Chains A and B, each alone.
Chain A
């Protein structure tokens, strides 16, 4: 098996804080991290390869610093890492991103055919979740999104059995290999990486490709040029009036609130009669 996991570097939105007055990001304290969903994607690849044997590659598109997330993926258990990094990729929306990544996947597949691609459900900086299915279409392999369990990998039959979250519940799906999965966080727990992986990761030098290293690339489909969507304007939504502020000591405020809620008592009982 050869699994390629797409991993993205994102600012840590847990740490990034927004200045409520200016509505701007306080980037000072925001470190760049491996998109958490992608960490689960790498972990799932590790779990699969533990059973089938094979190779895990990770692929990322981003600035040179994005090698950090490749190293992080090696810690989790990936074998190799590729970064595509070029000015030409900059400003890509999901369509242009999936194009660039699929071209890199083509190149990776030349050396070692790809049996499965795994992406995160979405990247936490934009959370569109569109890149994964986009890559699948471009590679013409079936996408299976919102995966919560990889139940079985049958290498002879070239199929996988997968549980995915659908709109109203879960479904069990069989897909032919090669296929592309996007994974939810609940698919696994990130294991504490073994020490040898940590040492391997700090020593690892990812392969870095520019556009010139990829083949048959239509430059008009890359980066800003290849992105049909643009940000028209940014605005703060019209502020609703805001309701009534209760006044007084905390005891008084609680009393007032009780008064208001008691008028709507039926709402509170509704729940309990259910």
Chain B
């Protein structure tokens, strides 16, 4: 493999129902920086049916080029059809870096593509950088074991691929003045050859409304002690109209359903106000919430790492603080007639 033959930063543009996923725009933002550092172009890869009109959005989002394959068979995401397209493009144009959103479909696609390209893939990245001299992508993610990040490198194979967590990178402001090139490719795909068929797609609206879109989140940790004490947080959430989430330990303990887990293996959230109550602040948790606007940490251990990311910290016993806070909030009329949403 001649590494020099590979050039350019690519982003897989995930669209569902002809709407581009937020994470893809975030990746254009992150990819732009990498491309500028390496002095190469940034390209988006857009696949689907009737998606050509979306190409301009990819360009205003930061791309210099958009590779488009528009085909009826690509209407719904399927590993086999999508990976065929990616293989065609990647083998023809040879990008050096290729980023995907760490969504179910993005991860699925990237894993399959990496296998066929026989290259390395870093999962669930939360930090991206490049070593310009060696033209190496530095994809960092929380490492198993400790508040430690590991930087994963792929020295001898190209493209260097990574899936990136939604909501950790910043999208650029759309720039309508940007110009870019749209490159259309054709591929021969036949529905009869497909070994999977999508019969029905059910959009899940409830889940979105609960955590990812919440403005205020009360997140509880294992330090709440038991399910009953955890109930205090529901009371607080109810009083201020917040959504309730939890750490993985809390979910594992069965105090909350799985989809309310916040962190690396759960949801990434960016509310205006985030209460972290009896949460230690392990890195796997922090990567899922550190971009919240205001973080309020309540923990009885003054050395808990959560205080490092907190905007305001209270060192104290949650069982004492939370009831007082609830009392105080009940005194002020902030939530008249409001609808409470927690799933």
Q: How far is the CA of A28 from the CA of B247 in the complex (A)?
A: 23
* Contact across chains for A128 and B14 when beta carbons are under 8 A apart: no
Q: Which of B108, B152, B314, B321 sits near A230, CB closer than 8 Å?
A: B152
Q: Chain B residues near A20: list those with CB within 8 A.
A: 147, 280, 303-305
* Contact across chains for B215 and A229 when beta carbons are under 8 A apart: no
Q: How far is the CA of A233 from the CA of B129 in the complex (A)?
A: 13
Q: How far is the CA of A262 from the CA of B157 in the complex (A)?
A: 54
Most buried by B among A176, A234, A244: A234
* Contact across chains for B314 and A267 when beta carbons are under 8 A apart: no
Q: Do A172 and B198 form a contact, CB below 8 Å, given A267-B216, A269-B334, A270-B272?
A: yes
Q: Chain B residues near A138: list those with CB within 8 A.
A: 115
Q: Chain B residues near A124: list those with CB within 8 A.
A: 265
Question: Is A195 among interface residues, defined by CB-CB distance under 8 A?
Answer: no
The interface-forming segment of B44-52, B137-145, B183-191 is: B137-145
* Contact across chains for A145 and B104 when beta carbons are under 8 A apart: yes
Question: Please, how many residues of chain B have a CB less than 8 angstroms from a CB on the other chain?
Answer: 109
The interface-forming segment of A44-52, A103-111, A129-137 is: A129-137
Q: How many A-B residue pairs have CB under 8 A?
A: 291
* Contact across chains for A243 and B16 when beta carbons are under 8 A apart: no
Question: Is A208 among interface residues, defined by CB-CB distance under 8 A?
Answer: no
Write the chain B residue with the least CB distance to A239.
Answer: B308
State how many angstroms separate the Cβ of A94 from the closest Cβ of chain B: 7
* Contact across chains for B111 and A142 when beta carbons are under 8 A apart: no
Question: Is A197 among interface residues, defined by CB-CB distance under 8 A?
Answer: no
Write the chain A residue with the least CB distance to B328.
Answer: A258
Q: How far is the CA of A161 from the CA of B199 in the complex (A)?
A: 9
Per DSSP, chain B at the interface is mixed
Q: How far is the CA of A232 from the CA of B332 in the complex (A)?
A: 52
Question: Is A272 among interface residues, defined by CB-CB distance under 8 A?
Answer: yes
Q: How far is the CA of A84 from the CA of B254 in the complex (A)?
A: 34
Q: How far is the CA of A111 from the CA of B252 in the complex (A)?
A: 39
* Contact across chains for A95 and B120 when beta carbons are under 8 A apart: yes
Q: How far is the CA of A125 from the CA of B205 in the complex (A)?
A: 31
Q: Do A260 and B312 form a contact, CB below 8 Å, given A133-B111, A254-B325?
A: yes
Question: Is B39 among interface residues, defined by CB-CB distance under 8 A?
Answer: no
Q: Chain A residues near B328: list those with CB within 8 A.
A: 254-255, 258
* Contact across chains for A243 and B154 when beta carbons are under 8 A apart: no
* Contact across chains for B200 and A257 when beta carbons are under 8 A apart: no
Question: Is A156 among interface residues, defined by CB-CB distance under 8 A?
Answer: no
Question: Please, how many residues of chain A have a CB less than 8 angstroms from a CB on the other chain?
Answer: 90
Of residues 124 through 160 on chain A, the ones whose CB sits less than 8 Å from some CB of chain B are 124-134, 136-138, 141-146
Write the chain B residue with the least CB distance to A262.
Answer: B332
Q: Scoring B residues 318 to 334 as 1 if CB is less than 8 Å from chain A, else 0, what string do you get?
A: 00110011001100101
Q: Chain A residues near B105: list those with CB within 8 A.
A: 166-167
Question: Is A242 among interface residues, defined by CB-CB distance under 8 A?
Answer: yes
Write the chain A residue with the least CB distance to B145.
Answer: A25
State how many angstroms separate the Cβ of B117 from the closest Cβ of chain A: 10
State how many angstroms separate the Cβ of B204 from the closest Cβ of chain A: 4
Q: Chain B residues near A213: list those with CB within 8 A.
A: none
Question: Is A9 among interface residues, defined by CB-CB distance under 8 A?
Answer: no
Q: Which of A21, A125, A166, A264 sits near B77, CB closer than 8 Å?
A: A166
The interface-forming segment of A10-18, A63-71, A72-80, A198-206 is: A10-18
Q: Chain B residues near A19: list those with CB within 8 A.
A: 146
* Contact across chains for B216 and A242 when beta carbons are under 8 A apart: no
State how many angstroms separate the Cβ of A79 from the closest Cβ of chain B: 27
* Contact across chains for B338 and A242 when beta carbons are under 8 A apart: no
Question: Is A23 among interface residues, defined by CB-CB distance under 8 A?
Answer: yes
* Contact across chains for A268 and B216 when beta carbons are under 8 A apart: yes
Q: Chain A residues near B340: list those with CB within 8 A.
A: 272
Write the chain A residue with the least CB distance to B242.
Answer: A271
* Contact across chains for A234 and B150 when beta carbons are under 8 A apart: yes
Q: Do A186 and B258 form a contact, CB below 8 Å, given A244-B312, A254-B328?
A: yes
* Contact across chains for A95 and B216 when beta carbons are under 8 A apart: no
* Contact across chains for A240 and B308 when beta carbons are under 8 A apart: yes
Q: Chain A residues near B198: list those with CB within 8 A.
A: 171-173
Q: Chain B residues near A167: list those with CB within 8 A.
A: 14, 16, 21, 77, 101, 103-106
* Contact across chains for B312 and A246 when beta carbons are under 8 A apart: yes
Q: Do A172 and B199 form a contact, CB below 8 Å, given A231-B150, A258-B328?
A: yes
Q: Chain A residues near B115: list those with CB within 8 A.
A: 95, 98, 133-134, 137-138
Question: Is A194 among interface residues, defined by CB-CB distance under 8 A?
Answer: no
Question: Is B196 among interface residues, defined by CB-CB distance under 8 A?
Answer: yes
* Contact across chains for B150 and A13 when beta carbons are under 8 A apart: no
Most buried by B among A94, A133, A142, A270: A133
State how many angstroms separate the Cβ of A14 from the closest Cβ of chain B: 5
* Contact across chains for B309 and A127 when beta carbons are under 8 A apart: no
Question: Is B34 among interface residues, defined by CB-CB distance under 8 A?
Answer: no
Pairs across A and B, CB under 8 Å, 10 listed: A14-B249, A142-B80, A142-B196, A171-B201, A172-B200, A185-B258, A250-B321, A258-B328, A269-B241, A271-B240
What 5 A-B pairs come out closest when comparing CB atoms?
A272-B338, A228-B120, A128-B123, A133-B111, A229-B120
Instruction: Give chain B's interface residues, CB within 8 Å of chain A.
Output: 14, 16-17, 21, 76-77, 79-80, 83, 101, 103-108, 110-112, 114-116, 118-124, 127, 138, 140, 143-157, 195-205, 208, 214-216, 240-243, 249, 252, 258, 264-265, 272-273, 280, 282-283, 290, 294-296, 303-305, 307-317, 320-321, 324-325, 328-329, 332, 334-341
Instruction: Give chain A's interface residues, CB within 8 Å of chain B.
Output: 13-14, 16, 18-21, 23-25, 93-95, 98, 122, 124-134, 136-138, 141-146, 161, 164-176, 179, 185-186, 227-237, 239-240, 242-246, 250-251, 253-255, 257-258, 260-262, 264-265, 267-274
